[in-house]
Amino acid sequence: MRADSSSPDTERLSIKPRNSESGHVDGAWWPRSRDLTAEVPELATALDGRIGPVWRVAYPPSGWAVTVREMIYQGRLIKLEGIGSQNVHIVHVTGGSMHRVTLLVIPPGTDELAAEGVLAAASGQNNVTCPEMLLDEFGARPTPENALARWESEGGRGEIAGAGG
């Protein structure tokens, strides 16, 4: 099942219990699209009880369609800060009195079962697995475009790790 046809009650945010080790991420988020301004309101609402009113979202510009640097949600200013050096699979959300959560971003088009697996694993108590390994474990990381392009440019005859020629 695809993300855009998932059931309405499918969880899209999962956070570790408060007494957990942080590790690489504090949980995972499965946005419906790569339009950050459209996704932030639901995320801010979901995180309000955990970190207070969201006032900043730091994101990797290569992973999102963002046209504004700030937005107003529920009468509050939220800064959208693109950080080029940030991991493409991560967003940092800051709220309240500088409380911050680091979330693994599950690609919007991910299969529902894979997304649910990543959500559960990333928010598991004391999970310290890196973002890429969490996505790979459930088949949720997209194939790099450059690898696909190279394979196609070689007529599909390029060597693939573990494949015979």
| Domain range list for the chain | 3-7+23-153
In tens, the pLDDT along 56-71 reads 999 999 999 988 999 9
pLDDT at 151: 41
- What is the DSSP secondary-structure string of 65-133? B---SEEEETTEEEEEEE-TTS-TTEEEEEETTTEEEEEEEPPTT--HHHHHHHHHHHTSTT----HHH
What is residue 52's predicted lDDT score, i.e. its pLDDT?
94
d(CA 40, CA 95): 13
| Spatial CB neighbours of 144, under 8 Å, sequence gap ≥ 6 | none
User: What pLDDT, on a 0 to 100 scale, did the predictor assign at position 139?
Assistant: 94
pLDDT of residue 153: 43
**Where does residue 41 rank: exposed (0-12), middle (13-18), buried (19+ CB within 10 A)?**
middle
Tens of each residue's pLDDT in the chain, 165 residues? 233 444 445 699 999 998 888 789 999 999 999 999 999 999 999 999 999 999 999 999 999 998 899 999 999 999 999 999 999 999 999 998 789 999 999 999 999 999 999 999 999 998 999 999 999 999 998 766 534 443 444 444 444 444 444
Question: What are 16-28's pLDDT values in tens digits?
Answer: 998 888 789 999 9
Q: 53 φ, ψ to 5°?
A: -60, 125
